[in-house]
Amino acid sequence: MNLLGKAMDKNFWNEVRTKECFSGYREELLKMWDEKCENKEISQMTYSDFKLFWTTGDRSIYESKYFFRRHVMDCSALLALIYPEEEKYLIKLMDVIYAVCDEYTWCLPAHQGKLEPNNNTKIDLFASETAFALAEIYIMLGDRLEPLIKNRILAETERRIVIPFTSVCPYDFWETGNTNWTAVCMGSVACMFMLIYPDMVESLNPRFDNAMECFLSGFKDDGICLEGCSYWHYGFGFFTVYADMIRKFTDGNTDYFKRDKVKNISTFIQKMFLSGNASVSFADGSRSLFYQLGLIHYLKNEYPDDIVVYDKKYSYNYDHCGRFCLHLRSALWFNEIYFNNPAPDNICSEYYAPDSQWLIKRTESYGFAAKGGNNAEPHNHNDVGSFIFAKNGRQVLADLGAGTYTRQYFSGERYSILECSSRGHSVPIIDDSYQFSSPGAAAGNVEYSNGIFTMDISKAYRCERLKGLTRKFTLTDDSVKLNDTFDCDGDREITERLVTLIKPEIGKDGVVHIGDVAVEYDAEKYGCAINDEPASNGEPCYFIDFTLKSKVCVFECVIK
């Protein structure tokens, strides 16, 4: 059974080698080879590096070496397929596989648990990804790999994945979870079994299916990925790889792509482009969006009337973690017609997702996104009522997106970090209090009709005197009007905060200038000051803070 399709065909790899449409793919690989592989030592991973997560909270030093190895494995494997006569690629590939098989654990320190136990077969995102990558390389390179390397792949995948996974059911939280973890871990494990342990799949298939049902349950029917764009690519990308492979393995009897919900999820990412590649960065997302080339081409092939493929300048082939299965499929799922005939990137659009309470609108003048929701969402930020205003290819009023990942970022200290706290979002500050984290800290009375998006966000605050806070956005073709109406008992201090990464300037007659965007307000009713605080990566972040004067209970501004 050929589960990898064209990837097993030498003629396909010759096309990748020779056709002009694959030139960018080849050039990226050859550049990566020059920078990371040729005449470069395979990174050494020490115990001192490994334990930093527990001693300082640092993730970057160990992970940079870990992912360096995955990049080398990714690059050398693909180049060995494209240029089979070049022995250096195969030699480097076998060297790095040998090193990866020697690693104490394939799990990242951040996911390992306690430092002290000798827990070297824990299956996390990256252990499962590593096993899947080795399985695909094992199948595609076949007897070009020397016997010891092939046997080590089988031995280590059995020791680190097969035995622990089959010994416990459910294996870990991710087997019954509903986030990217479930799709990535179970998708990778399942695909590894289909490739190199196919006789075990029938007995394990109920676990695979149940996990994917759990994953899909994490999306509402509107298809919004509450974890953010980056995690859509990650989780849904691995889900798509699994869904493709299980459909082939079962001769079409298991076909997730026939489901309307899967189609809705598939269209999520195209709706997140606001202006150029300035994107919706709610939760742990990114302010700039690039789509994974092979993934979008595959989905376009499944849903030709529903998927929009934007210009290749907004695409990518490989990511910073060296995820082999998606990089491989940037070639395997590539479609020259979609590549050469992109949709225009100035499409005007409007999308309201009532289940998730997101509104995304793009006009010829600006891009806008706002959310209701609650403060207990996956990769949560305390951001009920937050919004983004983008223009000329960048976020002007910004959602900072993901902060720097450290131990503290995923601990009780999370909401002291600017990116996760409501103090780093364009929402009010009431009596010096910020929003709090809880499922009950939720938007109420959320409605969208005729260009007006309203919600009550008062329950996101622990403030006894606040009885109601109606936030209303009125959208026209060239401006957004923000109106907040406060219902409070007694005196209160209210600061309306707008967040930007562009240094703003307070002008005359009630205008704040942020680059080529103006925020107009009534200077008789509101004081205005510019404050700042560095983001977790040190990037300067600016706050436009409007202070409501005594007895003023409505804030209004126009953004254009």
* CA-to-CA separations, 186 to 106, 178, 207, 239, 262, in angstroms, rounded: 16, 11, 9, 9, 17
How confident is the model at residue 551, as a pLDDT?
83
pLDDT of 346 strictly over 80: no
How confident is the model at residue 489, as a pLDDT?
83
How confident is the model at residue 229, as a pLDDT?
94
* CA-to-CA separations, 255 to 194, 332, 355, in angstroms, rounded: 16, 20, 25
Tell me the DSSP string of 411-449: STTGGGSTTTSGGGSSSEEETTB-B--EEEEE-EEEEEE
Q: What is the mean pLDDT of residues 136-152?
A: 98
- Smallest CA-to-CA distance from 555 within 365, 428, 447 is with 428
Please write the tens of the pLDDT for every residue from 26-47.
999 999 999 999 999 999 999 9
How confident is the model at residue 396, as a pLDDT?
98
Q: Would you list the domain boundaries of the chain?
A: 5-340, 349-559
How confident is the model at residue 550, as a pLDDT?
83
Q: Do domains 5-340 and 349-559 have the same CATH topology?
A: no
Query: Which residues have CB under 8 Å from 295's CB, separation 6+?
Result: 233, 237, 240, 326, 329, 333
How confident is the model at residue 509, as a pLDDT?
87
pLDDT of 490 strictly over 90: no
Q: What is the mean pLDDT of residues 250-276?
A: 97
Secondary-structure class of domain 349-559 per CATH: mainly beta
Q: What is the mean pLDDT of residues 406-422?
A: 95
Q: What is the mean pLDDT of residues 246-250?
A: 98
- 324-332 and 237-249 are packed helices; what angle lies between their axes, rounded to 10 degrees? 70
pLDDT of 231 strictly over 80: yes
- 87-102 and 60-82 are packed helices; what angle lies between their axes, rounded to 10 degrees? 150
Q: What is the mean pLDDT of residues 426-442?
A: 96
pLDDT over 70 percentage in the chain: 100
For residues 369 and 42, what is the distance between their CA atoms, to the nearest angstrom? 44
User: What CATH number should be reported for the domain whose range is 5-340?
Assistant: 1.50.10.100
In which band, very low, low, confident or very high, does the pLDDT at 347 lie, cut at 50, 70 and 90? confident
Please write the tens of the pLDDT for every residue from 374-409.
999 999 999 999 999 999 999 999 999 999 999 999
Please write the tens of the pLDDT for every residue from 499-539.
999 999 999 889 999 999 999 999 999 999 999 999 999 99
Query: Which residues have CB under 8 Å from 81's CB, separation 6+?
Result: 7, 13, 16, 140, 141
pLDDT of 332 strictly over 90: yes
The values of phi and psi at residue 174, to 5°, are -70, -20
Strand pairing of 387-391 and 374-375? unpaired
For residues 240 and 255, what is the distance between their CA atoms, to the nearest angstrom? 11
Strand pairing of 526-534 and 554-559? unpaired
Paired with 530 in beta bridges are 544
Q: What is the mean pLDDT of residues 76-89?
A: 98
How confident is the model at residue 320, as a pLDDT?
87
